[in-house]
Amino acid sequence: MKKPTRRADRLAAAAATDEPPAMPKLEHAPMSDIIDALASGRVTAAALTKAYLTRIEAYDRDGPTLNSVRALNPDALTIAGKLDGTRPSVKRPLAGVPILLKDNIATADKQPTTAGSLALEGARARDDATIVKLLRQAGAVILGKANLTEFANILAIDMPSGYSSLGGQVKNPYAPTLMDDRGIPVVTPGGSSSGSAVAVAAGLCAASIGTETSGSLLYPASQNGVVTVKPTVGLISRAGIVPIAHSQDTAGPMTRTVRDAAMLLNVLAVKDPLDPATARQRRPADYAAGLARDAIKGARIGVPSDPADPLNDRYYGKLPPSWVKVMTETIKVLEDLGAVIVRANMPTAGWLAGPGTTMAVLNRNPLSPNKGNPMMQWIVFLYELKHDLNLYLKDWATGTAIKTIADIVAFNEAHAERALRFGQDLFLAANATRGDLTEREYKSARAMDLLAARTRGMDAYMSQHKLDAVLFPGSGGCAISAKAGYPSVMVPAGLISGVDDKDTPDYPLGVTFAGLAWSEHKLLRLAYAFEQATNMRKTPPGLLAR
């Protein structure tokens, strides 16, 4: 790990000196503790915001240069100062709480909304995304925009997680070393919401908001030891979020504790006429209610791994030894807490990539070991991308000449040296579609996705075995839940090390509790009980304030 510079040490020391005795330890303080400190008057919103900005300067811009924050909100301190006299309450539960947004979430302020793309550098939005309005109404201080994999990792095949042409490369705070030859992390920071996850893990904000289409919340949460909720599609409005595919896109919280994630869901889960999917929303009055240490007792949890049927062991059969150790310990904890563990493989018919769901795309990535080979990609993603992105650019983007995906492709080709380090093969494939979702192959692919992932997959599996949840290692179950539109909750479970044949420092591995539509509250209760019994989240080394 690169040692912090003298400047970083000085900044961190200054932050520690300037903090009043009651300032929470930001490197590991949960959002709930920060809210308590604000509510009691022990700390002000302005002091808290300033302390986070100091940590960003010390560790994201300097020191290990994590590069998780793409841009800061120039008005953050002003907004915080205006909230100094407002303490968190039932009406404004996040008053004074600094939160980062993934840079594909629109804000109608001085901050651009770029999705990490040079083509959208300086682009702004006509209005706040619905979830941004909800956060502001709850009193949150929008601290800035988090870096991400460009266009949420739908630009190019084999683009490294956390890389964007505008923001550069996000690093994993537990193992920030890059490969010398290519500048790609040895230990990935995870999926496209990597900046949001790294910022939370490193204590650069109280919480963050990321997005997922398939794994982009769960994977970075696992890799960085934080909690996330990938909600049921329709629980949280997508209005004002740069899209990939409306069939699967959703936003979600990234936090240091399960309770914090539940508290953010309370704010974000609101029906929105701008997103018709939210009309079906079902939610409890309070996601934080009922979080208890004994919530696992009697719960039936499916482990999709049957030793008697190893050829069909899709999710556990090929895990590395370090993963096996963490999952074995996790299952024992669940059993000790009173869970009924049901070992049974997911039905083969529920596996993904069924007939007509994928298409070949030529890999043009100049740095990919698979360059020149056709790679199978999800049809639904590529067909919905052109349709949905063109609508966003038309209805939300302002201050830019970019109006269609074709404009982005042309811009990137004209600025290839900076914009196309890893190519744009997926955008080329998406741009070749009609863009109106009338093609029979798209309709068939969407129907087959639902048949496999939902009807023959999660629905059949959970019904047959009468399950409350399914336990997946890491983010291994992200695709089947995402295609079904179903929720997942990720919680830290242990530490692993090594990538392929390379030695690395220890870094986190999480476990996923997945369930059927609108079961977020049940999943949060299970995750909370596991979290309280294990306390597996560890602060990244070298990022302590004192």
Active site residue 192: yes
The token duo for 497 is 């090390």
Assign residue 191 a region (left: φ > 0; alpha: ψ between -120 and 50; beta: otherwise). Answer: beta
CA separation for the pair 68, 168 (Å, rounded): 9
Judge contact between 259 and 291, C-beta under 8 A.
yes
Judge contact between 190 and 162, C-beta under 8 A.
yes
Neighbours of 194 (CB within 10 A): 35
DSSP conformational letter for 452? I
CA separation for the pair 344, 527 (Å, rounded): 21
DSSP assignment of 387-420 equals: HHHHHHHHHTEES-S--SHHHHHHHHHHTHHHH-
Give the position of tokens 């970019």: 402
User: Which three-class secondary structure state does DSSP give residue 93?
Assistant: coil
Surface-to-core class of residue 310, CB atoms within 10 Å of its CB (0-12 exposed, 13-18 middle, 19+ buried): exposed
Assign residue 151 a region (left: φ > 0; alpha: ψ between -120 and 50; beta: otherwise). Answer: left
516 Cβ contact list (under 8 Å, min separation 6): 458, 459, 462, 486
Q: Which of 216, 237, 305, 488 is catalytic?
A: 216
Active site residue 318: no
CA separation for the pair 32, 532 (Å, rounded): 15
CA separation for the pair 506, 120 (Å, rounded): 36
Which amino acid does the sequence have at 508?
P
CA separation for the pair 91, 101 (Å, rounded): 22
Active site residue 497: no
CA separation for the pair 53, 204 (Å, rounded): 7
Judge contact between 68 and 60, C-beta under 8 A.
yes
Surface-to-core class of residue 410, CB atoms within 10 Å of its CB (0-12 exposed, 13-18 middle, 19+ buried): middle
CA separation for the pair 458, 173 (Å, rounded): 34
Q: What are phi and psi of 112, to 5 degrees?
A: -70, 160
Q: Which of 96, 99, 97, 94 lies closest to 84 in space, CA to CA?
A: 96
Q: Which of 102, 133, 230, 483 is catalytic?
A: 102
Q: Which of 117, 164, 165, 192 is catalytic?
A: 192
Catalytically active residues, by annotation: 102, 192, 216
